[in-house]
Amino acid sequence: MSDPLRVLSFESRKAAEMQSLIERHCGVATIAPAMREVSLGMTPEIQTFVDRLSEGSLDLIIVLTGVGAEALLTAIETEHSRGWFFGQLERLKIVARGPKPFATLRNWGVRVDAKAPEPNTWHEVVKTVISLVAESPQDGDSPSSTNRPLTGLRIAVQEYGQPSTELYAALEDRGASVLPVPVYRWLLPEDISPVVAAIDAAARNEFDVTLFTTAQHIVHTVQIAESLGRRDEWLASLRRTVIASIGPTATERLQEYGLPVDIEPEHPHMGHLVRAAIEGAGERLDAVRIR
């Protein structure tokens, strides 16, 4: 019987769940949280969003994350009731980026007009908005051009850990005006020692598989490695492992750092990622070790 695979993950919010998933698939888990989410509270940007809701000067909202939606509600409840907020949302078209924001909205009892399909990147979000607008044009709208199908549409976007600049640009290129609504930020963990220990262990070739559940994990781990003067060493260590990415956004960011992505699951979920990584790593490991 072969030795169990040694698997490194940087998952923070669902660290315990990630460890359990790895162990259930007979892997040896090392969890080094590389990120924390910090709610921004009631900010000027959220106040502008509230004012625009009150004025009726928004047509559509894109909800990118369930956690972000909850953070937005918490901020708004410092000044308004949730009933007021839900009533304002009912006046807009609502697009959920994927199953988690969809579930949050439905738990609130708020109507969802469309849900972007997997893999839930900004590309799918833009296509979903265009399809929704084509199906239900606003009263008095004239047909939009093929190149600018969102002309005149006023869209709020509930951000997550960082600005979704590619999404905003794509919507604006198609004629929409965009109001970003940041609700939390991704910061380095307060305790970076688990990541430092993982960098040390990776340099000693103590991992077979590295999992990335968000693009921000590679950004933060490289930032920590740079602070130690070990950026190149860290990236070289990663290349000697089987690298598994949860989906296209994380894959693109990993490739920007010159890292090959060996495994990307069919569905962008943690369970699918762990299973695909552990089941597929064995046949790739020998080749990975010599690249």
Q: Please, what is the Cα angle at 155 between 154 and 159, to 5 degrees?
A: 155
* pLDDT exceeds 50 at position 76: yes
Domains and CATH numbers, the chain: 6-35+188-289 (3.40.50.10090), 38-186 (3.40.50.10090)
pLDDT tens-place string over residues 6-23:
999 999 999 999 999 999
Q: In what order do the strands lie in the sheet with 28-31?
A: 28-31, 6-9, 209-212, 242-245
Query: What's the predicted TM-score (pTM) here?
Result: 0.83
Rounded-to-5 percentages of helix, strand, coil across the chain: 45, 15, 40
> Across-strand partners of 184?
39
Task: Give the model's pLDDT for residue 7.
Answer: 98
Higher pLDDT, 85 or 288: 85
Residues 6+ apart with CB under 8 A from 99: 115
Mean confidence (pLDDT) of the chain: 93
Per-residue tokens: 276? 């695909």
Residues 6+ apart with CB under 8 A from 200: none
* pLDDT exceeds 70 at position 141: no
CA distance 228 to 59: 48
CA distance 140 to 146: 18
Closest to 263 (Cα-Cα) out of 249, 250, 246: 246
Task: Give the model's pLDDT for residue 288.
Answer: 74
Task: Give the model's pLDDT for residue 3.
Answer: 86
pLDDT-derived band at 291 (thresholds 50, 70, 90) equals low
pLDDT-derived band at 145 (thresholds 50, 70, 90) equals low
Angle of the 231-239 helix axis to the 215-227 helix axis, nearest 10: 140
pLDDT-derived band at 197 (thresholds 50, 70, 90) equals very high
3-class DSSP state of 26: coil
pLDDT-derived band at 142 (thresholds 50, 70, 90) equals very low
* pLDDT exceeds 80 at position 110: yes
CA distance 250 to 218: 8
**Residue 60 backbone dihedrals phi, psi, to 5 degrees:** -155, 145
> Across-strand partners of 8?
30, 210
Task: Give the model's pLDDT for residue 143.
Answer: 43
CB atoms within 10 A of CB 105: 21
Task: Give the model's pLDDT for residue 138.
Answer: 55
pLDDT-derived band at 147 (thresholds 50, 70, 90) equals confident
CA distance 134 to 141: 11
* pLDDT exceeds 80 at position 176: yes
Higher pLDDT, 177 or 160: 177
Task: Give the model's pLDDT for residue 284.
Answer: 75
Q: Using CB atoms within 10 A of its CB, is residue 146 exposed (0-12), middle (13-18) or buried (19+)?
A: exposed
